[in-house]
Structure 1
Amino acid sequence: MSANSAEAGGRPPAPTEVDVVLVKGGRTKIRYRGALVSDDGTRLTVRAAWAGEGVRDFGFVRFEPGDVFTEHYWRDRWYSVKEVREAGGALKGWYCDVTRPATRSGTDLVVEDLDLDLWRSADGTDVRRLDEDEFAASGLARTDPGAAAAALAALDELEGLAREGGFEALLS
């Protein structure tokens, strides 16, 4: 046993990378590797490069190769908050996904996307709810009314935070 193992109480060191697994409709939508920044037992923070292929232009923001996402997931909240920066470090804004609470098994961090999203621009002048039509079409309100209510409450909470000055207090 090395000195470092002994100092850690004989436990192996925590992994420094995780695989973020975004599930939608029971299927893996995307899987990507990120650096585990922290895990306090409730909130996990991961830093990862833009995992999509090429450029994704939403009209109000473009995600592109080189962008860096600092992603915050909770085991007890129905959302994730992702700070988005250009490769040079300039803040683009925050993209929030409404999800079931995150789970972690080994190096897999699994989140189930519930079709609702929110965007807040870096300067806070653009706050927009996204994909409410997809959420309605998903049928979640019919198949799991409790989860649907939690998802809508999460979106309302995110919008309130975004309009009241941002996510800094939540993330500190």
Structure 2
Amino acid sequence: MDVRTARARPGARVLLRATKYDGTAHWLQPFRVLSDDGNLLVTAYRARTPIYTSRGEFRSPYDSIVYFWRDRWYNVFRLSRPGCRTALWYCNVTTPPTFDGCQIGYIDLDLDVKVYPGGCIELLDEDEFEAHRVAYGYPEHVVANARRAAEEVARLAREHRFPFSCG
């Protein structure tokens, strides 16, 4: 199956498999597909379902709606406590994702952006990004795309544009 054209069926179960730039495992998380238009893959995650990370098992207290654009260097997790409104959006700066029909894959590039409904925007993990940029030898186009992605997420949030317009 061609990872550039594979589409997910609504209701299907898929697995997120994120790595670091050197290929080491970083994150495994199950999702249920809500929709897939060929560019934007929208998934859901239920609170307290196990997530396997490089630091061990984690169980998020949040239900999540997650937006993966195949042509963007970030994804957006809209997080809410079960039965409540959006608590925050957590945005991972990554390579554009691939999808093979069963798994979503991307390289985590360390930078994250946290957006709160009240308008507060936080850029996170700049120190980790700089350390890994050197340690893993991020090419200049990767560095430029990562920084541009963090700026784009912040701009969309400031302008209350999708996906920061829903909550």
Q: TM-score range by the shorter chain?
A: 0.7 to 0.9
Amino acid of the residue matched to residue 48 of structure 1?
Answer: Y
Say whether the 8 Å CA contact 2:29–2:51 is kept in structure 1.
no
Amino acid of the residue matched to residue 38 of structure 2?
Answer: G
Number of residue pairs the alignment of both structures matches = 149
> In the aligned structure 1, how far is the partner of 2:142 from the partner of 2:75?
16
**What's the CA shift for 1:168?**
3.6
Are residue 159 (structure 1) and residue 154 (structure 2) matched? yes
Select the residue among 26, 29, 32 that pairs with 2:29: 32
**What's the CA shift for 1:89?**
2.5
Q: Percent identity?
A: 32
Gaps of 5+ in 2: 1-7, 53-57
- Partner of 1:127 in structure 2? 121
Gaps of 5+ in 1: 1-12, 54-62
Greater relative contact order: 1 or 2 (C-alpha under 8 angstroms, separation 6 or more)? 2
> In the aligned structure 1, how far is the partner of 2:156 from the partner of 2:33?
25
- Partner of 1:150 in structure 2? 145
> In the aligned structure 1, how far is the partner of 2:16 from the partner of 2:59?
18
Question: Deviations along 1:5-41, whole A, 9 cap, x unmatched?
Answer: xxxxxxxx93711101121231221212110111111
Give the root-mean-square deviation of aligned CA atoms: 2.5
**What's the CA shift for 1:86?**
0.3
> In the aligned structure 2, how far is the partner of 1:133 from the partner of 1:24?
15
**What's the CA shift for 1:165?**
2.2
Say whether the 8 Å CA contact 2:74–2:92 is kept in structure 1.
yes
CA 1:139/1:128 → structure 2, altered by over 3 Å: closer, same or farther? same
Question: Deviations along 1:115-140, whole A, 9 cap, x unmatched?
Answer: 0000011222x210000111111126
Say whether the 8 Å CA contact 2:28–2:51 is kept in structure 1.
no
Select the residue among 78, 88, 93 that pairs with 1:83: 78
TM-score of the pair, normalised by structure 1: 0.77
TM-score of the pair, normalised by structure 2: 0.79
